[in-house]
Amino acid sequence: MTGSQIALTDRPDLGAALERAGNSGIVRTAAVAVVEGLGVDEIVLEAAATKTSGVDGAAFVTNRRILVTANKKDPSQFEFLELDNLANVIVLPYKGGWAVVAQLYNTYKVWSGFTEKAAKRVQFAAQWALTAGREARTEASRAVSSTELFERWKENKHRLNRNSLEELAGAMRSLYSDIDSRWWTE
């Protein structure tokens, strides 16, 4: 087994998504490339096979992106959209199959060739990831209220006015201690 194939077996998230996608060779081949390109905290939520104009393809939804094979001869090349750029994901019947429509804020992207079940799985995973991402960002921003930020700013302003220039330089050095010390030499 190659390193990428071993990585496939080490990813329960991808294994479950591949199982739901069925026994598609193109999806499994594309999955190897997906594993190699995943970010540190990126997980695969869904995988699905597509067939557009007689050409097999694969789609993957992670907690950060939607990836769809972009080259009919090379399933390791993907077209992708970051979920942060999306407003919504819907599915529609399209030319005897189903299409996944990613609505960006000022335009949209359509991927077709899905079965109804696969399109709805991709839609559900993408909408779940969109909602979870928004909730995580909202919770992170709620950790500090605007009033608390203003109070911190006022306190820092008063502290700067009270402290001498040497104390300020010392505080800056300790704050940025991970920066190369040559920056602080005169």
- In angstroms, the Cα distances linking 88 to 92, 129, 172 are 13, 11, 44
d(CA 71, CA 80): 12
> Tokens in use for 184?
């602080």
- What is the bridge-based pairing of β-strands 78-82 and 97-104? unpaired
CATH class of 3-142: mainly beta
Spans of all domains in the chain: 3-142, 146-178
3-state class (DSSP) for residue 111: strand
Is 89 within 8 Å of 102 (Cβ atoms)?
yes
pTM, to two decimals:
0.66
pLDDT tens per residue across all 186 residues of the chain: 454 454 556 777 778 888 888 877 888 888 888 888 877 778 888 888 888 777 788 888 888 888 888 776 777 788 888 888 888 888 999 888 899 998 887 888 888 888 899 999 889 888 888 888 777 766 666 666 666 666 666 676 666 566 566 666 666 666 555 545 554 444
Q: Where are the beta strands (DSSP E) in 2-106?
A: 44-52, 55-62, 65-69, 78-82, 86-94, 97-104
For 105, which DSSP code?
A: S
Is 78 within 8 Å of 111 (Cβ atoms)?
no
The residue with tokens 């201690």 is 177
Tens digits of per-residue pLDDT, 60-111? 888 888 888 877 677 778 888 888 888 888 899 988 889 999 888 788 888 8
